[in-house]
Structure 1
Amino acid sequence: MKTIPQEELFHRIEGFQEKLKEKGTDLAVIIQNADLYYFSGTIQAEYLFIPQEGEPVLLVRRGSERAQAESSFKKIIEFKSSREIPNILTQEDIELPEELGLELDVLSYQVATKLQHILEADKLVNITTVIRQSRMIKSDYEIILMKRAANQLKKIPTLIKSNLQEGMSELELSSIIEEHLRLQGHPGRIRMRGLTNEMPIGVCVSGDNAEVPLKTDALCGGPGIHASIGIGSSKKKIIEGEPIVIDFVSNHHGYHVDQTRLAVLGEPSAYLQETYEKSVELLDKLSEYLLPQHTWQEIYEQGKRLAEELDVADYFMGHGENKVRFVGHGVGLELNEFPFLADGLDIDLEPGMTIALEPKLLIPELGAIGIENTYLITEDGPQNLTTSSEELIIV
């Protein structure tokens, strides 16, 4: 069964080839799994060759039957050795390139130089930005898949109310949510671009565990259960009255949606309740700016301004030296896609972008307070894909 409709796949290839022409890149080689799936509908191939013009060629080292079942491409060829590649391309009317485009943000030096040598290319260029620009505008087909992904998250507040209890650890609560997601078809993996970016399905982080710093530009990841991973829920027991960040990522047919909700065991303090209401107001008001006429940077700046108005600026996206300089990120086949709503990115929002907006507050000796929704940018305003209850979950 073909995983992606043929017309959808061909539209993606045509758009990408136009970008290759504009850049002057003769040939692109796609290797990384998320990119490979986006452009071919399968990850069973070793290489995908996309010329400026003409049909792409998918090279499979073994199991070509599966690649043929999953991808709509006609040119799916099995090979044994990389030395065969020049002859295969020549037979398929693809000239060896002068300028070779590779995903240089994720490929090793060894792989990149090996391909340059095999294909006798004069020059290597990084096509990462071109790929990410191609993927950041979602088609109607992709939006359907993302809405289905969002449905996996809808019952999380109810699940927490039914299961959170005194004496439970972060890890125990997280495992209940993870099981729920897996039984709905979540593959148990989150794709995040980058050499060392590793991400669990989600985290339950309580109290001051939310303050544990991460090497990545992120908040509330938690310490995890061991330094060898360094992120995630821990064996810490959840204490009555402290905020519990419930941040999970769904995955349907490879497409992710990001959502955060907040819970508390026992009666919350008046301060926690009031601050939570401010955090929801901050998200609601900030989401109104998710319009095509605004830039990525403007959303971040508006977030800081709104935090000032609500008297929570000291805690906006962290505190002290551990503040992060973003308020949202694109989502799709990877969790960290374009756009990044961050300082210094004066680039316009566009219809079809899907963005996780997460203006969280990190309060010393208390923890993190805030929620996160994933939105679709449209000409008429943002559409919230994450429709589960936004009320503070009190158990």
Structure 2
Amino acid sequence: MVSKKQIERRIRELRSILSQKGIDAALITKRENYIYMSNFTGTFANLLITHDKAILVTDFRYTEQAKEQAQLYEVVQYQGNLNVTLNDLLTANNVKILGFEDGYITYKAYDDLSKNLSIDKLVPLERTIELLRLIKDSEEIELIKEAVRVADEAFSHVLKFIRPGVTETEIAAEIEYYLKKHGARGPSFDTIVASGWRSSLPHGVASNRVIEHGDAVTMDFGAICNEYCSDMTRTVFVGQPKEELKKIYGIVLEAQKAGVNGAVSGLTGREIDKIARDIISDAGYGENFGHSLGHGVGIEIHEDPRLSQQGTIKMRNGMVVTVEPGIYVSGLGGVRIEDMIVINDDKPMVLTSSPKDMIIL
């Protein structure tokens, strides 16, 4: 995971925001956010960050792990009722105004906090942690590079496995086995393998369909390494594809390269999306590209910023995003090509190294 120096910086930045908003402490319960703020990777924790203390509350299962991973935090083990422990800590630290993750906790959890904590006010944090996570520091980028590398190697490996007679599920299993065998905790999402007519399904999770000669095979997958994700897509052909699919491949490749090269600092996600979308629309396939061009990737596989027609966030150096245009024609098939990049002034750093020229197996 990242160094104590980076965790210290994140805590310091959060405290600065809390001061600006007049909030005494932040309660962080979303797993991706408490990983980001503490390095603790267990499945249950509550972080309580005041202006001078950082406390991690968890149960018996995770106290030892938390002490090892979250070295800048006081680890408190609760027994019985979690809210009683939280309330004791809030009282001891004179917390009257508590920030909570309004975009994450359920109404019931909010109601429980409101009724059981002796504070004056609950204040929405309004995605404060997610906004801190937008810009990846150098350590995060190195962790993401590792997840990208493992996925690239898995793609190279699986090309030797794909042939008529194997199923989509078998291809997905081979990819995921390779990922785990070579350092990944697992796939970063359900592996998509869509072949033949199913390749027109943008999120066609692997089925028992058998690969046939002439099929397009779209594979969209990623790895989780050290809690950071990767995401890539390649479409390959098993034998000679139909002429329209060849044409579509060329259009998607042109749009994808233009989207990558156009992803520069200062442009909004909407403006970058338009670069690639216009190429596909001008080629007559605008209605066959119905999803966004890309999304941020980090501890979560889908996070801000979004490269979409609604994307209003301006790109800044250090943002990590995907660029993944596609064309999907019902009954024929589809093509999608996806790379991960780091925004870097006017020359994006392309992380994905797998070849993009048409591959016919």
TM-score tier, shorter chain, comes to: over 0.9
Q: Distance in 1 between matches of 2:47 and 2:120?
A: 20
**What amino acid sits opposite 2:65 in the alignment?**
R
Alpha carbons of structure 1 residues 238 and 12: separation in structure 2 relative to 1, 3 Å:
same
Q: How many residues align?
A: 357
Alpha carbons of structure 1 residues 22 and 298: separation in structure 2 relative to 1, 3 Å:
farther
Does the 8 A contact of 2:306 with 2:313 survive in 1?
no
Does the 8 A contact of 1:161 with 1:394 survive in 2?
no
Query: What does the per-residue CA deviation read over 1:142-176, in whole Å, with 9 as the maximum and x for residues that have no partner?
Result: 00001111110222443233111211111111111
Q: Paired residue for 1:221?
A: 203
Query: What TM-score does the superposition give when structure 2 sets the normalisation length?
Result: 0.93
Q: Distance in 2 between matches of 1:314 and 1:78?
A: 54
Match of 1:251 among 224, 244, 254: 224
2:274 is equivalent to residue 308 of structure 1: no
> C-alpha displacement at 1:140, in angstroms?
0.4
Match of 2:302 among 331, 336, 358: 336
Q: Distance in 2 between matches of 1:355 and 1:145?
A: 15
Q: Distance in 2 between matches of 1:312 and 1:74?
A: 53
Match of 1:151 among 149, 167, 172: 149
> C-alpha displacement at 1:5, in angstroms?
1.3
Match of 2:322 among 319, 341, 356: 356
Q: Paired residue for 1:205?
A: 194
Does the 8 A contact of 1:296 with 1:348 survive in 2?
yes
In the alignment, structure 1 segments of 5+ residues that lack a partner are 191-198, 213-219, 223-231, 318-322
Match of 1:378 among 337, 344, 348: 344
**What amino acid sits opposite 1:273 in the alignment?**
K
Q: Distance in 1 between matches of 2:276 and 2:124?
A: 33
> C-alpha displacement at 1:11, in angstroms?
0.6
**What amino acid sits opposite 1:270 in the alignment?**
E
Query: What TM-score does the superposition give when structure 1 sets the normalisation length?
Result: 0.85
> C-alpha displacement at 1:210, in angstroms?
3.6
**What amino acid sits opposite 1:239 in the alignment?**
E
**What amino acid sits opposite 2:196 in the alignment?**
G
In the alignment, structure 2 segments of 5+ residues that lack a partner are none
Q: Distance in 2 between matches of 1:79 and 1:333?
A: 27
Alpha carbons of structure 1 residues 149 and 271: separation in structure 2 relative to 1, 3 Å:
same
**What amino acid sits opposite 1:307 in the alignment?**
I
Q: Paired residue for 2:69?
A: 70
Query: What does the per-residue CA deviation read over 1:333-376, in whole Å, with 9 as the maximum and x for residues that have no partner?
Result: 00111101122332211111000111111112112212000000
**What amino acid sits opposite 2:49 in the alignment?**
I
> C-alpha displacement at 1:131, in angstroms?
1.6
Q: Distance in 1 between matches of 2:122 and 2:5?
A: 30
Query: What does the per-residue CA deviation read over 1:205-246, in whole Å, with 9 as the maximum and x for residues that have no partner?
Result: 11232444xxxxxxx211xxxxxxxxx200011222121111
> C-alpha displacement at 1:301, in angstroms?
2.1
Q: Secondary structure at the match of 2:293?
A: strand
Q: Distance in 2 between matches of 1:342 and 1:120?
A: 43
Matches within 5 A, 1:106-255: 106-188=104-186, 190=188, 199-200=189-190, 202-212=191-201, 220-222=202-204, 232-255=205-228
Query: What does the per-residue CA deviation read over 1:60-107, in whole Å, with 9 as the maximum and x for residues that have no partner?
Result: 22142221111122411222233132333444xx32233x32223332
Matches within 5 A, 1:384-395: 384-395=350-361
Identity of paired residues, percent?
A: 25
Does the 8 A contact of 2:234 with 2:338 survive in 1?
yes
Q: Distance in 2 between matches of 1:280 and 1:66?
A: 46
**Stretch moving more, 159-168 or 259-268:** 159-168
2:233 is equivalent to residue 265 of structure 1: no
